[in-house]
Amino acid sequence: MAANPLASHPMQMKLAKLPDSELPKFSGKYEDWLTFSDRFQHTIHNRKDLSGSEKLKYLQAALPGETGRVIESISITDSNYSTAWDTVKAKYHHEREIVFNHLDRILDQASVQPGCIADLEKLKANCNNSYTALKTLNRNNTLGEDFIVKIMLRKVDPETRKEFKKSLCDRDVPSLNTF
């Protein structure tokens, strides 16, 4: 009887448990971070049956291309998973960028062609997705002000916009008074 090749590679055996279709992939776009983070935590991060090194392998697989560069030099060990996850969160859980990207997504929607139900459905779905993400960040009470600040930033020249962003000392969404 031939030896089981997976028996000598227990990590491969465990990694084979999760179908590729279940592993979320992150695009690297701030507006996709909340969905990715939620799905990754549910699918991988919170699992007790996976070691830190296995979670780190899944995290690397979930960050294709340029997105994964932020953790490419981290060695695959059980103790490094937390460092890698914290590094990814530090880069992409940037509330101001997430909020402004969702507001851009809403404001940049194409106009609906007369009588085109598909365009209307797409507009509704895209706006609803962004609105839901903003609610997840508890932006309900400041959403109007967020829109005004975003529109004002769109109305100023690029140099002024750049200087304003440099003047902000944290990752929070600026208020109208900050402007």
CA dist., res. 147 & res. 144, Å (int) = 5
Summarize pLDDT for 106-160 with one digit per residue, the tens.
999 999 999 899 999 999 999 999 999 999 888 888 889 999 999 999 999 999 9
Distance CA 174, CA 27 (A): 26
Task: State pLDDT tens for residues 23-78.
Answer: 889 999 999 999 999 999 999 999 999 999 999 999 999 999 898 899 989 999 99
Whole-prediction pTM: 0.75
The answer to whether the CB of 118 falls within 8 A of the CB of 16 is no
Mean pLDDT highest for which of 86-95, 140-149, 170-179?
Answer: 86-95
**For tokens 């009470």, what's the residue?**
141
What is the pLDDT, as a whole number, of residue 175? Answer: 84
Specify burial of residue 65 (Cβ count, 10 A radius: 0-12, 13-18, 19+). exposed
Q: What share of the chain is helix, strand, coil (3-state, %, to 5)?
A: 65, 0, 35
